């Protein structure tokens, strides 16, 4: 099955480059395609650079296909965005309290 979401497409491209193959389906297992731990490290590094997020090496072992890894990355990005929004809202509230002298 061909990649459908933007995250799946980006991951498939990374896998193709690292594995040196021409096609990756979303259900293909990274390790069945010839991947090994050194290549997994390269994938994780490229994911970090591309998505601007920390991805643990063990994530690729836990989610060894594009579909499941993409879902995990999307979930992590949503959580990170929510946390940043919460921190931003907290900072605004703290600033208001400081301005009122309520701290």
- Per-residue model confidence (pLDDT) at position 25: 98
Structural domains of the chain sorted by starting position, each given as residue range(s) with its CATH number in brackets: 6-100 (1.10.1200.10)
What is the rounded average pLDDT of the residues 67-78?
Answer: 96
**Model's pTM, two decimal places?**
0.78
- Give the C-alpha separation, 60 to 92, whole Å: 37
- Per-residue model confidence (pLDDT) at position 80: 81
- Per-residue model confidence (pLDDT) at position 40: 98
Contact 30, 15 (CB under 8 A): yes
What is the rounded average pLDDT of the residues 87-92?
Answer: 60
- Per-residue model confidence (pLDDT) at position 77: 92
- Give the C-alpha separation, 66 to 26, whole Å: 5
- Per-residue model confidence (pLDDT) at position 9: 98
């Amino acid at each position: 099955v061909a990649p459908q979401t933007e995250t799946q497409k980006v991951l498939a491209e990374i896998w193709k480059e690292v594995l040196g193959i021409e096609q990756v389906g979303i259900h293909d297992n990274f390790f069945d395609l010839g991947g090994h731990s050194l290549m997994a490290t390269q994938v994780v590094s490229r994911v970090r650079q591309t998505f601007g997020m920390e991805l643990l090496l063990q994530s690729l072992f836990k989610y060894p296909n594009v579909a499941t890894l993409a879902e995990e990355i999307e979930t992590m990005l949503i959580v990170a965005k929510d946390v940043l929004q919460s921190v931003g809202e907290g900072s605004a509230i703290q600033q208001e309290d400081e301005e009122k002298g309520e701290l």
